């Protein structure tokens, strides 16, 4: 049996993988490009217009589910579930409708905590399994099912053995996707070097989900090295991420967090700013605010924290509460 420290790291790995993939986009549809470009208001309007004339339009129903999940709109997650169920009722043989239900419930599980998730955990699993059964080439659904197997306890159908079996089966459908899945299973075993080698051996070009998975796997590895205080390895991994994925903020953000973890707040500031220049996000403004506060730049810290509260997807409840506490303290 793994010792307690290893179990804790494995749990952290699983949680990070889940947070990075829980809102993964479903299979390409009419609105995919606009959602990827973050034209959320435009997509909402177009999807609603489509549904006004064609209430069972699968692409529009899936797009609305994806919008809610992608933006982390917690208050609308029940609506997302109902939209996905409507899609399944109208198109029971459409893989993407079942995948949308799994994604909606997966996002709800992530935001609601473990106790609220237990009640519909098997429904999440079954939705992804059905999506894969209906379309074995639906890689988005396969990666989501893998995440479920790695995150869920055995009592609700999870388990590392099932994850590895799925990875092997996926390799028969798509060899590159299979490599990435095997990399994720190695992460679950805390074999970071092996996971990194497998992830980098895959050619993800031409697939958004494989590109995202390769990046997210490297992000998880870098984050775990930082948590283990292996800062040189963490810095190496995040430097590589920034070179490989220049359109992602994760490289610069990861490097900034490595410095922040070591108390090097002044050095971290420019990297947080670099990450924000690539793509602004609530969690980056939050971490920037922490470092600004640490160097006693109160005015800019207040500004960063206030911006952190204004972005979508929103910060989780714990971080939002901390931001509000810090703002009270800074404003006296």
Instruction: Give the start-to-end residue ranges of the domains of the chain.
Output: 251-332
Half-sphere exposure of 41 (CA within 13 A, CB side): 1
Using an 8 Å Cβ cutoff, are 55 and 9 in contact? Answer: no
* Cα–Cα distance for residue pair 139/28, rounded to 1 Å: 11
Which three-class secondary structure state does DSSP give residue 295?
coil
* Cα–Cα distance for residue pair 71/84, rounded to 1 Å: 16
* Tokens representing residue 215 in the block: 């990046």
Q: Is 219 exposed, middle or buried (0-12, 13-18, 19+ CB in 10 A)?
A: buried
Residue with token string 């509460």: 321
The whole-number pLDDT of residue 113 equals 64
* Cα–Cα distance for residue pair 183/228, rounded to 1 Å: 19
The per-type count for the chain, helices as H runs and strands as E runs, is: 19, 0
CA nearest neighbour of 251 among 229, 272, 266: 272
* Cα–Cα distance for residue pair 267/242, rounded to 1 Å: 17
* Cα–Cα distance for residue pair 327/295, rounded to 1 Å: 16
The whole-number pLDDT of residue 115 equals 59
The Cα-based distances of 171 to 73, 187, 218, 262 in angstroms read: 34, 18, 20, 40
Single pTM value for the model: 0.84
Architecture category of domain 251-332 in CATH: Alpha Horseshoe (1.25)
Angle in degrees, CA 208, 166, 139, rounded to 5: 20
Angle in degrees, CA 108, 20, 324, rounded to 5: 70
* Cα–Cα distance for residue pair 8/190, rounded to 1 Å: 10
Using an 8 Å Cβ cutoff, are 221 and 190 in contact? Answer: no
The whole-number pLDDT of residue 156 equals 86
**42 CB-near residues (< 8 Å, 6+ apart):** 34
The whole-number pLDDT of residue 27 equals 59
* Cα–Cα distance for residue pair 265/248, rounded to 1 Å: 22
DSSP string, 256-306: HHHHHHTT-HHHHHHHHHHHHHH---HHHHHHHHHHHHHTT-HHHHHHHHH
The whole-number pLDDT of residue 114 equals 60
The whole-number pLDDT of residue 280 equals 94
Q: Walk along the chain (332 residues) in steps of 10 and give the mean pLDDT of each run.
A: 38 43 58 87 94 96 93 89 97 97 88 69 93 96 93 87 96 97 90 96 93 95 96 98 96 98 98 97 97 97 96 85 96 88
**257 CB-near residues (< 8 Å, 6+ apart):** 223, 226, 268, 287
* Cα–Cα distance for residue pair 256/127, rounded to 1 Å: 38
**264 CB-near residues (< 8 Å, 6+ apart):** none
Neighbours of 172 (CB within 10 A): 9
CA nearest neighbour of 97 among 133, 73, 72: 133
Using an 8 Å Cβ cutoff, are 96 and 62 in contact? Answer: yes
Using an 8 Å Cβ cutoff, are 317 and 113 in contact? Answer: no
Which three-class secondary structure state does DSSP give residue 54?
coil
């Amino acid at each position: 049996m793994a010792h307690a420290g290893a179990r804790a790291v494995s749990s952290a790995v699983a949680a990070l993988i889940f947070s990075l993939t829980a809102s993964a986009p479903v299979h390409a549809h009419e609105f995919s490009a606009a959602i990827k470009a973050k034209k959320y208001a435009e997509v909402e309007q177009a999807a609603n217009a489509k549904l006004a004339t064609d209430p069972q339009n699968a692409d529009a129903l899936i797009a609305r589910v994806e919008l809610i999940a992608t933006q982390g709109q917690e208050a609308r997650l029940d609506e997302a579930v109902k939209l996905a169920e409507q899609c399944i009722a109208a198109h029971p043989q459409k893989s993407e409708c079942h995948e949308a239900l799994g994604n909606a419930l997966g996002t709800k599980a992530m935001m609601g905590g473990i106790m609220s998730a237990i009640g519909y955990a098997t429904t999440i699993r079954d939705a992804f399994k059905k999506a894969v059964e209906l379309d074995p080439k639906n890689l988005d659904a396969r990666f989501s099912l893998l995440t479920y197997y790695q995150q869920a306890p055995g009592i609700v159908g999870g388990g590392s053995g099932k994850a590895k079996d799925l990875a092997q089966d996926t390799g028969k459908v798509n060899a590159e996707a299979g490599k990435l899945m095997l990399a994720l299973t190695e992460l679950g075993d805390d074999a970071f070097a092996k996971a990194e080698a497998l992830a980098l051996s895959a050619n993800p070009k031409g697939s958004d989900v494989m590109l995202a998975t390769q990046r997210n796997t490297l992000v998880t590895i870098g984050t775990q090295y930082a948590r283990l205080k292996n800062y040189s390895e963490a810095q190496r991994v995040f430097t590589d991420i920034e070179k490989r994925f220049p359109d992602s903020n994760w490289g610069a953000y990861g490097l900034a967090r490595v410095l922040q973890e070591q108390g090097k707040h002044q050095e971290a500031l420019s990297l947080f700013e670099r990450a924000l220049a690539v793509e602004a996000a609530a969690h980056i403004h939050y971490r920037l605010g922490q470092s600004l506060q640490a160097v006693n730049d109160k005015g800019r810290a207040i500004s960063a924290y206030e911006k952190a509260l204004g972005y979508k997807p929103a910060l989780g409840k714990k971080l939002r509460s901390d931001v509000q506490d810090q703002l009270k303290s800074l404003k006296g």
